[in-house]
Structure 1
Amino acid sequence: MSAATVSEPFLLSSYPESSAYKKRRATPLYVSLPSGSDADPFVTIAVQGDGVHILDTSTLHPAASHTLGPSTSFSCPPATRTSPAKGGVRTCTTYAILESGPDMQPEGKGKTVLAWEESLAGGMSTSTESDKKKRVAVAPHPVAHIHAPDYLPSHVVLVSATGEVSVADAELEVQRTCTPQNNQPSTLVKHFLFPAASCSFLPSYTTSSYRAVSVSFLRSGDVLRVSVVGVAEENVTYLGECVVPTEETEILDLSCSDAGFISILVPSGSWIALSLTTSPSSSLTVSEAAEPLRLQGLTFINAARASEVSLAALTSSHVLLSAVTTGSVPEIVLLLWDLRYGVLLAQQTISVPSTLPRPKKQGAMLRLVASSTTRSTSSAFSKASAVNLNIILVLLPSPDRDHQQAETGNAARSTVLVVPLTVPVIATIAAAMGKANAGARWVSMKSGRGQAQPARCAPEMSTAARKALAEMKTAVDGSANGSTIRAETVFFEYVQQQGKGKGAAQGEEQSTPLEYPFVQGVLELVLHAPANTQGSSAHGKTQSAGAYSAKILRHLLESRTVSSSMVEGGVLPALAARNDWDAVALAMRTVSDLPEADVMALLTQVVAAHHRTSVSDENAMDVDSAPASASTPTLPMFLAQCVVYPYTPALQRTALHKHLADAADLTVILEVLDKWIVQHTEGDALLSATPPVTEASEPPPLDKVLAFVQTLLDASFLALLAHTPAHRLLRTLAGHIQPALARASELELLCGPLEPFARAAAAKAKAQAEAKDGGAKANDSGKDWRRKRKMAHEQAGMAVGLYQVEELVL
């Protein structure tokens, strides 16, 4: 079960490149997201020479469009603040900074703030229609960023290219301006605005006086500084600044979260992780948070295509990176990293659109846009272990490219994509465990000067483990046919020695956990998927094609020392490629981090085998029909394992939608699920206690079955509706579930009166199980005097005893 995922992006909108603005070499469009506490599904897009469009990501339709004419251009991303519905229709106020246009004076270039109000009913308005609601003002300085967050409901924050932060009221009149404290000229590198309550790098007594916190990264010569400003209504206060400890003079991109986690990406591919905190003396400090990463395999590294990369800070120390891969067929890759532990949690790749020109000198432009709502401190957010986010990926033609060169293919267009993510709320070691090699493709093992460096986060093996692993590798490489007999002998001798070493003092053998790098090395030797049989040497080919040990694998699985990420491509795909379905079933019971996509991919194979078996049964006289593999499990058997295996519903829906798109396959699965529901609900089955599943023929627990049915219908209901043979099954399924739900609602009234008896029965069953397992003392039947006294107090408190009856007469 995986906690982080990057789903496949989907298209929100695309816009042709304006011929009038090619000559101006201006960015084709700007995109922004709401920066308030409500997760509004709106995206605001300012298109040069056109206007401002507000799109709804939940419906993929325009919510509002405001045309400003072909002579209008923008200097930075717009800002939109939505308001509650009035009369059933929501309204919004949009703010834009004009670079040119009919509503501005020549001296107002880059300073003119244009604001207007419109409804989110999906219509299109022109500048003439909204003249009555339009407001125009000139800021005291050129504006590089504008923010209109919900936590500042009647004010707007304006940030200049030199680091000045201003607050304007609803009429766009500037109330207060805060300038950088140093006397040297500064250039704004990156700016962020967070809700003050979510900024954990500042003490609570400081943030309580403000609504928002402005974080600006400023360059003064070769020195990079971070400046923090508190923003309240009609008040801007300087909170402090400090120097960022980096010697890099050129920065490609920079990210910062409200937890104070900073990441800096430089042209050499180095990715620096820093932490912004407040010292005991209330001064700001920036220190190294983790060892820097050195990326590889991406076009922006040591090349002219510096614009083909973008960063977006998410939760805690999680950062999303978007870049273009090197190679003969470049792709756009989205990498979700936990930089605190230096591990890759999830990734996704998409093809480069044919409408995106990528000249060799400049390349294209990639921009990731994330809202501050991803780092909300609401109670619902803080209680969740993971959060679902929508990040915007913008693909832009470079405005600096040579337009005189003939562009083959389609005309250049700007594309706006939505990237659904699932991200853990906080960075934990548990989520990072087993992910050390997940990002090996993207991390270079050489330092800046070219020498090799040790692997990051790689635990050391003991001398005995290293010796055993070397002997196993020699045995496998020296075998002519990839035999693992000698390797198995070495492995089990090592395991036996480890057990004796730990249990010698007590005179008995004990089960000692094997070292993580040793287990990973063993799996690399004995679990090579047949698809990866190409090698550079004869020995490599022999090993990859024949090296497989079911005995070693079964021991590792039974000892619960295997993680899915230990095997390249995952444990389940490697086992399925070996057609070892017994090991697959064992892995489903003992491996706790199997990705939902791998499980559903195997379910697809089992369904296909089920179809082949059905065809073979119908055409039994056809001697040429190819029966399914004898080792492939039956559909009910494997589906039961899928139902009881822990999963995340959002990831399960994505996996179902990807691997089980055929409604005929879904119908077969629903038939099995329906039979299980009938077995659980017919007669008095609901009144009987749910026994543990001991045999493969027994159905899974009812709650697991219903949860799986709900997830499957959520992912594929439309596909089932379009499949006529599934209609009867859906009606039958509803006919079985609805009466059971009504009966369960009636039985739920008995939960309160029967709860004391259920507790007493559970305690008795637990005591019997402990006594049966030999965990209790023989002379006391598993209950010492302390346990007896505790149980007596509990029974007295619950008023549950032998033949004890209470009666209440009204």
Structure 2
Amino acid sequence: MAPAASINEPFLLSNYSVTALLSKSASRSKNSRRQTGVHASYQKPTTASDGFVSVAAQADGVHVLDVATLHPIISHTLGPSTSFACAPLTQHQPSKNIHTTFAVIASSPEIDSKHHGRMIWKWNENLSSPLVERPSSRNQHQALVVPHLIAGLYDCEDFPDRFFAISPTGDLSLLATHLELKATRQATGDDNTVVSVHLFSQNSCSFLGTQPEGVAIVLVVEQNDSLLVEVHRVGVDDSIECIFTHSIPFPGSEISAASCSSSGILNVISKTGAWHTFSLTPCVITPVSSPIQLNGLSFLSSTSAKKTHSPNKSSFSTSTPSLLALTSSHVLLASQTPQNDIALLLWDTQYSVLLASHLLPLPSSLTAQTSPLNFSLLSSSAVGVKAGNQQAVLAISQPVSEIDGKTPVKSSIYVVPYNVPSRSTLANALGHASSGARWIVSKEGGEKSDSISPQEASRAKLVLNMRTAIEQNRPQAANALFTEWEKREQEKSKDDFADVVMFGYTFVKDLLEVTIQPQKPPSPLYSSEVVRLLIEKGVVRSAMLEGGLLASLRLRNDWTSIDVALRSVPDLSENELLETLNNVVTHSLNKVSSDPDTMQVDSTPSTLDHIPSLPDFLTTMLKHRQFTAPQLILAIRQHLRSAEAVTSIAQLLDEWLKNVQSQEVKLLPGRKDVIKNEHGILVVKTNMVKPKSVYDLPTMSQILKFFQSLLDASFLALLQHPPAHKILRSLKSHIEPEIAALSQTEQLRGLVDGFARAHAKTIKDAEEGRAAGPSGEEGSKKDWRQRKKEAHEQVGMAVGVYQLEELVL
């Protein structure tokens, strides 16, 4: 079965800070192009390794970080006067433990200014040798000057003794690892701007067909009002040739991010938010699907500010998003949101749906309000990203040109674990159509914008205001906004069904996402007032939240809302209920096993005390939920895997059976239990009060149905668990007398059944006779006989669907 797409919680790898002095000097350099606080690259020499991240920190040096240990293994400190033009490149030889690092120097007092941005420094580091024998960073490096500026260094695992240097305009140079220039190919135009570079092994490029062995280099270039896609091949003989070039018109729209997969699927996002997907072949480039318009990302807000000619200079600073092709149709997008979050979005471009997302709060060290952020997603393989459990590196930094000379530039590097299917399927896309509604503009939005009703406008305004209050950590203000809005709407409408009209499915879903925020970690300021009110109104469905309603409420420790949901939410699945029951049982067992005389120093009473007791939760669940036996058995096997947990539930059910069984059962009602109905016929009261001792317990039928599924799923586990044997014997002693009593009572069916039928027929005839019109005993009998006669005549005359008429000749 293909793995489901997911994005796990990113973890911090390292932080860096650049001094204001370098930022000021670097901004005056003519050869510097969009210099940021750090440049990073990601290499993974073997599949068993988590890989290494090479970081060039401005005014610091070059560092190689081990992703597995989160510590640097190599550091080349170069001082505050050295800056870098692009990300460094490190080649690893695991068998010899030798690491070779290349870096492009943008400025340094050791080199001539005419070589700034063209000089490559190289270090060799043998981590097996003693520290005293390792070379110094400043004195033991090798250098090479290439004939053009360098915007990126790249390598391919098929060419272990070669690497590539590419200029900002598209010049391509092939170099040997011992710093020898092998070949150079000039750019097609001086006004070109390289947007992204992608290297693939020739064997992994399915879109190139049969080509000689080598490395394929895809350059995505912005040229005037066009997007240029150049595909080059580097052969084993060090030759560089252009296989094909395609041009796509992009009038009046600058490219914000681009990424290409090894299957030739190219994704391009313009600065206006238009997402285009193309398929590359040597003959033609064709669109794969209709473009989608992104929404809710900060670089779009900056673009809108430019169009309106805002006088605020900060509005012209645009954050740069990043795209990373994972498979032929799966793409990971990283960008900043206007709410100062980092949005990580995993898209299926074939079906234009969002499969997974994660919102990461912006680090406090980054001054996002005064300076834009550059995002860079990095993969570790040149032969195409593999499916399954993988991880990418996210570098977040500020451009040095945006610093005012007083505030240092901050940068952070994160590792983003993710899971992605090997290919796009309709089964994986089903159910995710509305997941990306927040991040894209609906096609019908522009057509319907002029015809929005006042109610829809009021709802949209409420959702927006509540989201702002929640993101500002003011949940009580969000509750007040909802209460005031509901009061105004109720005053406008006097319909008894106002709740159904007022709370539509999409509106309630938006309110839940704003209040609960399932994509973010639980907030200590979470307030459940709005959620509880919506659940009590019966307008909430579990499918409105990804992962289910109960899972989101459990993470926020909102057990009061869970109790209300058990009574009011109709689509809670057996899987959700048993997963929640398992949490309650686990807490109950831990509470029993803990020593009351031991001081709980690290416990959190505010969290644990909210979890209900097992009898209370199980009572509510059995009394208000209807189960499907096969699904219930599967859910029990999946979540109640502990024999101790099953034993504790079985013991509780056995005690309930004993209590219910001990109550006297009236086979014949007394005089006080019988009354006359509106037709004058004696009937038994329907609101007879149960004994108080069993009034709050589930019925015998509810207990036995759940108990039967529990035994079907876990009987073998109970047999192998000695403490459960006593409970099984007790259950047998309670069930056998009930079976005997039911067998004896069943013998009365033939005697009593006729009277019961006659009584039911009398009640039915009385109701039908009153509905016919004439009253009185004589009229009732006449009506009854007349109806019976007419029924016999109709049966005799009619030829039914399954009747045959016999004809004798």
Q: TM-score, normalised by structure 2?
A: 0.59
Q: Which amino acid aligns with 2:422?
A: V
Q: Which residue of 2 aligns with 1:9?
A: 10
Query: For 1:320, which of 312, 326, 332 is the aligned residue?
Result: 332
Pick the structure with greater CA Rg.
2
Unaligned runs of 5+ in 1: 455-476, 487-519, 534-539, 554-563, 619-623, 647-667, 677-692, 707-728, 733-810
Q: What is the CA–CA distance in structure 2 between the aligned matches of 1:526 and 1:69, rounded to whole Å? A: 54
Q: Which of 548, 567, 570 is 2:548 aligned to?
A: 570
Aligned to 2:346: 336
| Contact 2:584-2:611 at 8 Å conserved across structures | no
Residue 226, structure 1, aligned to residue 229, structure 2: yes
Shift of 1:37: 6.6
Q: Which one-letter code corresponds to 2:184 in the other structure?
A: T
Aligned partner of 1:97: which letter?
V
Distance in 1 between residues matched to 2:534 and 2:126, nearest whole Å? 63
The equivalent of 1:433 in structure 2 is 430
Correspondence for 1:502 = none
Q: CA deviation at 1:541?
A: 11
Does residue 62 (structure 1) correspond to residue 79 (structure 2)? The answer is no
Q: Which amino acid aligns with 1:672?
A: E
Cα distance in 2 between the residues matched to 1:478 and 1:306: 49
2:45 paired with 1:45 = no
Aligned-partner SS, 2:250: coil
2:617 alignment partner in structure 1: 632
In the TM superposition, what is the alpha-carbon distance from 1:340 to its structure 2 partner?
1.7
- Is the 2:269–2:276 contact (alpha carbons within 8 Å) kept by the matching residues of 1? yes
SS in 1 for 2:94: strand
Q: Which residue of 1 aligns with 2:749?
A: none
> What is the Cα deviation at residue 633 of structure 1?
3.9
**3-state SS of paired residue (1:375):** coil
Partner of 1:29: 38
Q: Measure the CA separation in 1 of the matches of 2:713 and 2:158.
A: 51
Instruction: Provide the residue aligned with 2:88 in structure 1.
Output: 78
Cα distance between partner residues in 1 of 2:131 and 2:635: 49
2:419 matches 1:416: no
Aligned to 2:763: none
**1:402 CA drift (Å):** 4.4
Rate the CA distance shift 1:128–1:569 in 2: closer, same or farther, 3 A.
Answer: closer
Could you give the per-residue CA deviations for residues 742-788 of structure 1, whole angstroms, max 9, x where no partner exists? xxxxxxxxxxxxxxxxxxxxxxxxxxxxxxxxxxxxxxxxxxxxxxx
CA–CA distance in structure 1, aligned partners of residues 15 and 411 of structure 2: 5
Contact kept in structure 2, 1:30 and 1:76, CA below 8 Å = yes
Aligned positions, number: 559
| Cα deviation code 1:431-490 (max 9, x no counterpart) | 111000011112222679676599xxxxxxxxxxxxxxxxxxxxxx99848899x9xxxx
Tell me the equivalent position of 1:289: 288
Is the deviation greater in 103-112 or in 30-39?
30-39
How far did 1:156 drift?
1.2
Q: Is the 8 A contact 2:343 2:360 kept in 1?
A: yes
2:3–2:419: 8 Å Cα contact kept in structure 1?
no
- Check whether the contact 1:343–1:436 (CA below 8 A) recurs between aligned residues: yes
The whole-number CA distance in structure 1 between the counterparts of 2:412 and 2:60 is 16
Verify: 1:174 aligned to 2:189, yes or no: no
Between 316-325 and 600-609, report the one with greater CA deviation: 600-609
Q: How far apart, in 2, do the equivalents of 1:6 and 1:128 lie?
A: 41
Cα distance in 2, alignment partners of residues 94 and 112 from structure 1: 14
1:399–1:133: structure 2 CA closer, same or farther, 3 Å change rule?
closer
SS of 2:266's equivalent? strand
Aligned to 1:111: 118
Separation of aligned partners in 2, 1:446 and 1:28: 39
TM-superposed CA distance for 1:177, in Å, is 2.0
> Are the counterparts in 1 of residues 512 and 545 from structure 2 also a CA contact under 8 Å?
no
Kindly report which structure 2 residues correspond to 1:612-651, keeping only aligned pairs within 5 A, or say none: 628=613, 630=615, 632-633=617-618, 644-645=637-638
The code of the aligned residue for 1:22 comes to S
AA at the equivalent of 1:345:
L
Contact 2:348 2:355 in 1 (8 A): yes
**Structure 1 match to 2:401:** 400
Offset at 1:166?
1.8
Give the letter aligned to residue 613 of structure 2. Answer: A
Once the two structures are superposed, what CA deviation does each residue of 1:55-108 show, in whole Å capped at 9, x if it has no partner? 11111111211223333221111111111323xxx1111111111235533332
CA distance in 2, matches of 1:251, 1:2: 33
Q: 1:112 to 1:276 in 2, by over 3 A?
A: same
Alignment check: 8 A CA contact 1:616 1:625 kept: no
How far apart in 1 are the matches of 2:531 and 2:645? 44
Over 3 Å counting, the alpha-carbon distance change for 1:32 and 1:265 in structure 2 is same
**2 CA distance for matches of 1:582 and 1:215?**
58
Output the amino acid matched with 2:161.
Answer: S
Deviations 1:578-606 (A, max 9, x none): 646699999656x8xx8xxx986774355
Residue in 2 that maps onto 1:366: 375
* Amino acid across the alignment from 1:115: K
* CA contact 2:20–2:409 (8 Å) conserved in 1: no
Partner in structure 2 of residue 717 of structure 1: none
Does 2:583 match 1:604? yes
Residue of structure 1 equivalent to 2:268:
264
**In structure 2, the residue corresponding to 1:354 is in which secondary structure?**
coil
TM-score, normalising length: structure 1 = 0.59
Q: Residues 596-638 of structure 1: CA distance to partner in whole angstroms, max 9, x if unpaired?
A: xx986774355346667899999xxxxx999637563499x99
Contact 1:166 1:178 in 2 (8 A): yes
Q: For residues 85-124 of structure 1, what are the structure 2 equivalents within 5 Å? A: 85-86=95-96, 90-101=97-108, 104-120=111-127
Is the CA contact 1:30–1:47 (under 8 Å) kept in the aligned structure 2? Answer: yes
Deviation at 1:30, TM superposition (A): 0.6
Residues 509 and 544, structure 2, Cα contact 8 Å, conserved in 1: no
Q: 8 Å contact 2:254–2:270 — kept in the other structure?
A: yes
Shift of 1:547: 4.8
Partner amino acid for 2:10? P
The question of whether the paired residues in 2 share the 8 Å contact of 1:612 and 1:627 is answered with no
Structure-to-structure mapping, 1:552-563, within 5 angstroms: none
Shift of the 570–613 alpha-carbon distance from structure 1 to 2, 3 Å rule, reads same
Cα distance in 1 for residues equivalent to 2:414 and 2:610? 46
Change in 2 beyond 3 A, CA 1:131/1:363? closer
Q: CA deviation at 1:210?
A: 2.9
Counterpart pick for 2:151 among 127, 133, 144 = 144
For residues 214-253 of structure 1, the aligned pairs below 5 Å read 214-233=217-236, 234-253=238-257
Q: Which amino acid aligns with 2:150?
A: V
Q: Give how far 1:396 is off.
A: 1.4
CA-CA distance at 1:420 after TM superposition: 0.8
2:222·2:255 contact (CA, 8 Å) conserved in 1? Answer: no
Corresponding residue of 1:650: none
Cα distance 1:417–1:120, how it changes in 2: closer, same or farther (>3 A)?
farther
User: Structure 2, unaligned stretches of length 5 or more?
Assistant: 28-34, 303-315, 452-492, 517-529, 555-560, 598-608, 622-628, 649-706, 723-809
CA contact (8 A) 1:68 1:126 kept: no
Q: 1:404 to 1:34 in 2, by over 3 A?
A: closer
Distance (whole Å) between structure 2 residues aligned to residue 325 and residue 157 of structure 1: 35
Q: Kindly indicate whether the alpha-carbon contact (under 8 Å) linking 1:225 and 1:242 is maintained by their aligned counterparts in 2.
A: yes
Match of 2:710 among 678, 684, 696: 696
Change (3 A) 1:84 1:363: closer
3-state DSSP of counterpart to 1:358: coil
